[in-house]
Chain A
Amino acid sequence: MNRGVKLFLALLSAETTAAAAAALVWAWRAGVLGQGDTRERLLPLFLVVFPVLMWGILAWAPRRLASTQPRLSDDHRRHLQGALSFWFLVLAAAQGWLIYQYIGGPPVLDRENFARLAAILMGVAMAVRGNFFAKVSPPTGEAAPDPGVWTRASLRTGWGMALLGGGLVACAVILPVRWLVVAMLATAPVLIWLSLSQQRAMRSRTGGSR
């Protein structure tokens, strides 16, 4: 991971840490910490999950990207860095929106429109990343996968992500919000399956047709 990206991710993680701490201090001083309904009581704790998750990823990702067994291609590394930057920005924005709601700021977007906007943003990002993922070069060096298997697997993963992203955008436009949330949750197992299938391709050392 290059220094610029690492610094950007560290700054975003620091920002979410400071924002979560500030929200907790505000709630404590205002005497609302641990009061209200379940959602309101759990929200301050949920705000802390964001920085914990981001610092965890930041500790793990550079080692993974620098792995030499096999060595990721430059364009693959750039692709992953771009994805990390995008998702860190999304996490920071989501935490900011939750804090804004928690401290009772005047409503900007109601929950329904926020969910639709989030689904569209996620869908477009997934489709764009899927489109270009199919183009990344295979890893090289020790324990590198068979290039033919890698090419087919990354094309399959790319198609999966692009279709999933397009589907999510369509769902955001046409589905009622309750079903939209179900659709957003349903994308998770599909993404995990695509990721596992790509991992299998990373370990594949022999060629063969589809």
Chain B
Amino acid sequence: MNRVFKALSDPTRRQVLQLLRERPMTAGELAAHFPCSKATMSAHFAVLREADLVAAEKHGKSITYQLRLSVLEDALLAFTESLGIGVAARAERAGEEGAR
């Protein structure tokens, strides 16, 4: 459960899960929605995979991600989203990077 909480504590990972609600997407398609580097996105995908919130399937060179949320995990996702957990920390990080 710790892994699930860790995975859901980051707004980017939560946004990935929301995007996967529509349909399974490749890593490239998902990464295109975020202003992060590929390495950062890979780390996010790894955290989601470890928590078993997404399933990854390799097709040739691309990896397709698919949502694997239980009802409890979906409820936790909505709860963390409504509280905005991690949003302030992300804004702070962005601010620091901007100042540098």
Contact = CB atoms under 8 A, between A and B. Distances in A.
Nearest to A207: B23
A6 interface: no
Which of the four size classes fits the interface of chain A?
10 to 19
B55 A155 contact: no
Given A155-B74, A159-B74, A134 B23 contact: no
Contacts of A137: 55, 66, 68
A134 B70 contact: yes
A134 B66 contact: no
Interface of A: 130-132, 134-135, 137-138, 146-148, 151-152, 155, 158-159, 162, 207, 209
B66 A152 contact: no
A135 B69 contact: yes
B91 interface: no
B21 interface: yes
Given A134-B74, A147-B23, A151-B20, 8 more contacts: A135-B52, A148-B22, A151-B23, A155-B21, A155-B67, A155-B74, A159-B71, A162-B71
A151 B70 contact: no
A148 B23 contact: yes
A137 B22 CA distance: 15
A135 B72 CA distance: 10
B71 A151 contact: no
B86 interface: no
A209 B20 CA distance: 11
From A137, A151, A207, residue with most partner B Cβ within 10 Å:
A151
Q: Which of A134, A135, A155, A209 has the most CB of B within 10 A?
A: A135
B55 A147 contact: no
A147 B68 CA distance: 11
17 contacts: A131-B71, A131-B72, A134-B69, A134-B70, A134-B71, A137-B55, A137-B66, A146-B23, A147-B24, A148-B23, A151-B20, A151-B21, A151-B67, A155-B21, A155-B69, A158-B70, A162-B71
